[in-house]
């Protein structure tokens, strides 16, 4: 019997005429593709197409190709579907994968176009005029009560005004990614970048390592169903607290960080024994309904001196009603994670088939909160495959207050979307705890990469605002009039609240 029906996905080709025989590919590959016997000999079956070896080969003599095996044509049984069956027949297990949903669903962002000013109103040059991106995340009152200050001016009346909001210099945050699923150096890179950018990183559910304390004012600390690393000190260090109910890549299911990733540092941060699996239950076992959520929100507020408390949910069919409930339960923001959002590990069937696109979730939630007159009560953070500043602008125009980026931020650190985070052998040193791999990321370099990316997107967002003739991001937020759709059907336009181009 063959050991497997499944042939290698990729072919690793080395131009031995050019090869220096330096062995760097052997050293760089986290997957053990190469054996060195006078020259590097690749084992195609192990290759994940992460391009680490390609990037570091001094002779540029490595290329990775798709293994172009011909399969008998069958639109119904794609090669991927056949391979899945073979793999499950071999293993009897749930297929695991990572990063975001790669299936060819309609990418709604790519069917939306933005407006620009011509003649009747002027565009604004962001290089000459102020172009404001400052954003506040948190509860805002419906109105502002003022009183005379006795000197011809006004001051806030007792108890009035906006309180306890997160101040962002740009409406882009870093998504929650736990220490454990990513390395400490990744966490440090994110935290340093967040501080430099005037925005926030998010611990994810793995606690806050002591090395991040200097950056705690730019850190959102997460409380998830496993409650890893949660203690009063943790809650009080964060600028805000986030209750994680769900994740776009795996709505409705929990998490599993294998024991191999729980080294001494992760163990200390998560407050669990070294080498044990870290299992996050699917639900919070103290939240079986919305009134339970309210209790947890207020428990966390009480424990932290009323820091903002947000709730992260996966975008699912009934997302608008759920978000409304969350806002009424007292959350300061709702974090919506669309079904293309990334993950460090998820069952493939869940990642690829559960949840709804973030564009629809933003539109539905923003409209529902407006219909109920409670849009000011909480901010909406949108995530789940924000790929560019254009996506940022479109998400904001649909109604998001800010977006969060996970996959894009990891790409800034070298991630090539090889979808193998769950193996713990990331050659780029991102989703691994192996010291020889994690040291590949210098936090100082990582912070600069991340800062560059967010700066670049922010500049582009300013260009977009300028073209739209507005000089503050709040004038784009929810301004669906500035969006038009191309190639979406009427029902979808209605859901999104946008007109087709030409109208």
Partner 1 sequence: MTTARPRYAEEASYKIHGGCGLMGICDESGKLMSGEDAILAMAVQHDRGNGLGGGFAGYGIYPEFPDHFAFHMMYHDIQAKEEAEALFDQYFLVDLAEPMPTRPVKGIADAPLLWRYFLNPYPNKLEESELSAEDYVVKAVMQINSSVDGAFVASSGKNMGVFKGVGYPEEIGHYFRLEEYEGHTWTGHNRFPTNTPGWWGGAHPFALLDWTIVHNGEISSYGINSRYLEQFGYKCTLGTDTEVAAYLFDLMLRRHKLPMELACKALASPLWDEIDRMPEAEQAVMRSLRAVYGPGMLNGPFAIVLGFNGGMVALNDRIKLRPLVAARKGSILMVASEESAIRAVIPEPDSIWMPKAGEPTVARVQGMEWPIHGDLHLSPSDISCAVTGTEVSCDTVEVNA
CA distances (Å), 369 to each of 124, 375, 376, 404, in order?
A: 31, 5, 8, 20
Contact pattern for partner 1 over residues 461 through 500, marking x by CB under 8 A: -------xxxxx-xxxxxxxxx----------xxx-xxx-
Q: Which of residues 113-132 bind partner 1 (CB under 8 A)?
A: 117, 120-122, 124, 129-130, 132
Residue 58 DSSP symbol: T
The verdict on 159 binding partner 1 (CB under 8 A) reads no
| Nearest distance, CB of residue 251 and partner 1, angstroms | 25
Task: State the SS3 of 179-211.
Answer: ECCECHHHHHHHHHHHHHHCCCEECHHHCCCHH
Q: Are 442 and 198 in contact (CB under 8 A)?
A: no
Nearer to partner 1, 282 or 486 (CB): 486
- For residues 362-391, which are near partner 1 according to CB under 8 A? 367, 370-371, 373, 375-376
Least distance in angstroms from the C-beta of 258 to partner 1: 44
E strands along 60-204, which residues?
62-66, 96-97, 112-114, 135-137, 146-148, 154-156, 166-168, 172-174, 201-202
Which of residues 146, 271, 282, 456 is near partner 1 by CB under 8 A? 146
Given candidates 149, 436, 442, 444, which one binds partner 1 under the rule CB under 8 A?
149
Question: Contacts with partner 1 in 285-344 (CB under 8 A)?
Answer: none
Q: Binding partner 1 by CB under 8 A: which of 141, 275, 435, 487? A: 141
Nearer to partner 1, 297 or 396 (CB): 396
Q: Which is nearer to partner 1, 1 or 503 (CB)?
A: 503
State the binding string over 160-179 for partner 1 (x if CB under 8 A, else -): xxx--x--------------
Total residues interacting with partner 1, rule: CB under 8 A: 53
Contacting partner 1 within 412-441 (CB under 8 A): none
Residue (6 or 374) nearer to partner 1, CB: 374
Q: Which residues contact 500 (CB under 8 A, 6 or more apart)?
A: 484, 485, 486, 488, 490, 493
**Token couple for 432:** 């691994």
Which phi and psi angles does 452 have, rounded to 5°? -55, -50
Contact 430, 438 (CB under 8 A): no
Q: In degrees rounded to 5, what are phi and psi of residue 8?
A: -55, 145
> How do the residues of the chain divide into helix, strand and coil, expressed in percent and rounded to 5?
35, 15, 45
d(CA 245, CA 257): 17
Q: Nearer to partner 1 by C-beta: 21 or 499?
A: 499
Task: Give phi and psi for 146, each to the nearest 5.
Answer: -125, 165
CB of 241 vs partner 1, minimal distance in Å: 20
153 binds partner 1 (CB under 8 A): yes
Minimum CB distance to partner 1, residue 213 (Å): 27
Taking CB under 8 A as the criterion, the residue among 143, 289, 305, 502 binding partner 1 is 143
Q: Which of 17, 38, 75, 142 binds partner 1 (CB under 8 A)?
A: 142
Closest contact distance (angstroms) between CB of 496 and partner 1 is: 8
Q: Quote the CA–CA distance of 418 and 54 in Å, as a whole number.
A: 14
458 phi and psi, to 5 degrees? -65, -40
* Cβ nearer to partner 1, comparing 262 with 473: 473
83 near partner 1, rule: CB under 8 A: no
Residue 252 Cβ, how far from partner 1 at the closest point, in Å?
28
Determine the Cα angle at 353 with ends 493 and 313, to 5°: 75
Pick the closest to residue 369 from 341, 400, 394, 337 (CA basis): 400
Backbone φ/ψ region at 107: left (φ over 0), alpha (ψ -120 to 50), beta: beta
Minimum distance between the CB of residue 16 and partner 1, rounded to whole angstroms?
A: 60
Helix (H, G, I), strand (E, B) or coil at 300: helix
Nearest-approach distance from CB 198 to partner 1, in angstroms: 12
Shortest reach from residue 253's CB to partner 1, in Å: 32
Q: What one-character-per-residue DSSP string does 346-413 give?
A: EEHHHHHHSS--HHHHHHHHHHHHHHTT-GGGSEEEEES---SHHHHHHHHHHT-SEEEESHHHHHHT
**Region binding partner 1 by CB under 8 A among candidate stretches 29-37, 148-156, 339-347, 430-438:** 148-156
Q: In angstroms, give the least distance from the CB of 323 to partner 1.
A: 15
All residues at 6 or more sequence positions from 75 whose CB lies less than 8 Å from its CB, including other chains: none
85/146 with CB nearer partner 1:
146
Residue numbers at the binding site for partner 1 (CB under 8 A) = 117, 120-122, 124, 129-130, 132, 134, 136, 140-146, 149, 153-156, 160-162, 165, 367, 370-371, 373, 375-376, 468-472, 474-482, 493-495, 497-499, 503
């Amino acid at each position: 019997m063959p050991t497997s029906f499944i042939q290698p996905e990729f072919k690793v080709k080395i131009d031995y005429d050019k090869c220096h025989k330096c062995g760097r590919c052997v050293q760089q590959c986290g997957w053990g593709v190469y054996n060195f016997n006078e020259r590097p000999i690749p084992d195609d079956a192990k290759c994940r197409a992460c391009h680490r070896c390609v990037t570091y080969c001094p002779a540029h003599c490595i290329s990775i190709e798709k293994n172009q095996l011909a399969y008998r044509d069958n639109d119904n049984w794609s090669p991927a579907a056949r391979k899945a069956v073979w793999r499950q027949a071999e293993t009897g297990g749930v297929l695991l994968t990572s990063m975001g949903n790669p299936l060819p669903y309609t990418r709604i962002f790519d069917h939306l176009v933005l407006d620009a000013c011509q003649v009747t109103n002027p565009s604004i040059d962001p290089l000459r005029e102020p172009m404001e991106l400052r954003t506040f995340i948190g509860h805002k009152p419906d109105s502002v009560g003022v009183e005379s200050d006795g000197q011809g001016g006004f001051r806030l009346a007792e108890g009035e005004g906006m309180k306890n909001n997160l101040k962002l210099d740009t409406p882009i945050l870093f998504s929650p990614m736990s220490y454990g699923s990513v390395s400490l150096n990744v966490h440090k890179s994110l935290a340093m970048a967040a501080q430099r950018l005037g925005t926030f990183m998010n611990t994810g559910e793995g606690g806050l390592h002591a090395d991040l304390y200097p950056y705690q004012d730019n850190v959102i600390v997460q409380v998830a169903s496993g409650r890893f690393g949660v203690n009063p000190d943790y809650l009080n260090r964060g600028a805000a607290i986030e209750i994680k109910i769900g994740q776009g890549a795996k709505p409705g299911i929990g998490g599993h960080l294998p024991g191999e990733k729980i080294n001494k540092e992760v163990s200390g941060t998560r407050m669990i024994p070294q080498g044990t699996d870290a299992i996050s239950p699917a639900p919070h076992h103290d939240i079986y309904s919305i009134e339970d959520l309210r209790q947890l929100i207020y428990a966390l507020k009480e424990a932290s001196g009323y820091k903002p408390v947000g709730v992260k949910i996966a975008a699912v069919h009934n997302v608008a009603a759920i978000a409304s409930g969350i806002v009424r339960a007292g959350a300061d923001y709702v974090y919506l994670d669309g079904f293309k959002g990334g993950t460090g590990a998820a069952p493939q069937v869940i990642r690829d088939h559960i949840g709804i696109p973030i564009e629809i979730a933003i539109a539905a939630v923003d409209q529902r909160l407006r219909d109920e007159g409670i849009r000011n009560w909480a901010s909406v953070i949108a995530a789940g495959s924000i790929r560019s500043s254009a996506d940022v602008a479109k998400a904001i125009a649909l109604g998001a207050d800010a977006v969060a980026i996970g996959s894009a931020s990891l790409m800034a650190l070298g991630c090539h979307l090889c979808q193998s985070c769950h193996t713990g052998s990331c050659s780029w040193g991102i989703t691994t705890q192996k010291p020889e791999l994690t040291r590949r990321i210098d936090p100082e370099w990582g912070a600069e990469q991340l800062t560059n990316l967010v700066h670049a997107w922010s500049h582009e967002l300013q260009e977009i605002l300028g073209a739209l003739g507005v000089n503050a991001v709040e004038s784009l937020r929810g301004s669906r009039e500035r969006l038009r759709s191309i190639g979406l059907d009427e029902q979808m336009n209605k859901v999104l609240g946008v007109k087709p181009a030409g109208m």
